[in-house]
Amino acid sequence: MSDSTDRPLVEAVLSNAPGAFERLVREYQDLCWHIIYRMVRHPEDARDLCQDTFLRVHRTLHQYRYESALKSWIGRIAYHIALRHLERKRIPIFDVVQDSDLPALVENLSDGFDLEAAYADLDMAVRLHAAIEALPPLQRTVLTLYHLDELPIGDIAAITGLAIGTIKSHLFRTRLHLREVLESAHGVLP
Amino acid sequence: MNHTPQPPHDEAEEREWLMQERAAEASRLGSVPDDATPTPYGVIVRTLRQPLDENLPADFACHVAEHARRRASINMYFELVSSWILCGILMVIMTGLLIHFGTDWLKPIQSVLPLHAMANEWVAALVACLLVFNLINKLLDARMRTVH
């Protein structure tokens, strides 16, 4: 959706056009769900938080100034609601990784290892899913927004309030980590 | 949490990043990369693109829209009640002021408006009250229109 499609929808919701808000929810519920479910992981909590997000959108839509895409604006609300939920539960949202760990990690990766073939093994697929689930909330969310929702890095930065370089770094390190998990599970890495 | 990770900066990391991005692009387009070099990230990216194991219920949008509508109408009702209470308080204050200072105000008004009816201070007070009442009604109507 772009400004040209956002504007009529926002104006329809603000003028209480029948079905307009439901249309808005339908349009953005997947994005909202991906952000919140990836952050909090608990389905019941995530559903409640998704509802809270859209109720807040309904209450504050008159404050939306078209300075960013509506998608980013709603995503930012969802992200902050999930973030506050995690803070209340004292769950850290990302791992502190030392930059000095990276070169060793990159050098240890095998060039010739065929992950495609290894993945045919069901156990490897299960391991990969488990590794994704075990990621810290922020990294999991960034990966999902980038790969599943196909959001550009700039939009992810707008949603999370992080710098573009930080998002790139999270993507890079997390995918590297997943590769390492798979290769070490297959006995390639020391 | 004060450590901000940095994007890839050396040659090996840059190569790794390009490999990751090539796999992501290929997966988006549903094709193999142009140079057909197998990338170890293909399986990772494909797994990341799989739908989540849980989803929102099918009637989520309808349910939330109904909830928002109910909440808005409750809020509007309270706003309306508060507005009426404030109007009532305003009327009481104005009546008190009129009773207390009415005669002082009437003299200059009478000198400007030579209407016989205005000679009676109670008629003037009534006209003032009606004017205020009409004004408040118009303001409330305008507010209701903006809420709807």
Give the count of beta carbons closer than 10 Å to the beta carbon of residue B94: 14
In chain B, residues with a C-beta closer than 8 Å to the C-beta of A97 are: 3, 5
A73-104 residues labelled b (16+ CB within 10 A) or e (exposed): bbbbbbbbbbbebbeeeeeebbeebeeeebee
Q: What is the pLDDT of residues A123-163, one digit of tens each?
A: 778 888 999 999 999 999 999 999 999 999 999 999 999 99
User: What's the mean pLDDT when you consider all of chain A?
Assistant: 87
Percent of chain A with pLDDT over 90: 69
Residue of B nearest to A57 (CA): B68
Look at residue B109 and tell me whether its pLDDT is greater than 60: yes
Are A151 and A32 a contacting pair, CB within 8 Å? no
Q: What is the pLDDT of residues B33-51, one digit of tens each?
A: 555 556 778 889 999 999 9
User: Is B5's CB within 8 Å of A38's CB?
Assistant: no
Amino acid identity, residue A161?
Answer: G
Angstroms from B139 CA to nearest CA on chain A: 19
In this structure, of A31-45, A86-100, A174-188, B26-40, the range with the lowest mean pLDDT score is B26-40
pTM of this structure: 0.73
Radius of gyration in angstroms for the set of CA atoms belonging to chain A, rounded to a whole number: 19
**Cα–Cα distance measured from residue B121 to residue B102, given in angstroms and rounded to the nearest whole number:** 7
pLDDT, position A122: 66
**Cα–Cα distance measured from residue A162 to residue A171, given in angstroms and rounded to the nearest whole number:** 13
Interval A38-61 mean pLDDT: 96
Give the count of beta carbons closer than 10 Å to the beta carbon of residue B67: 14
Residue with tokens 């109408």: B73
pLDDT higher at B107 or A57: A57
Tokens (6 digits) for B39: 């990338």
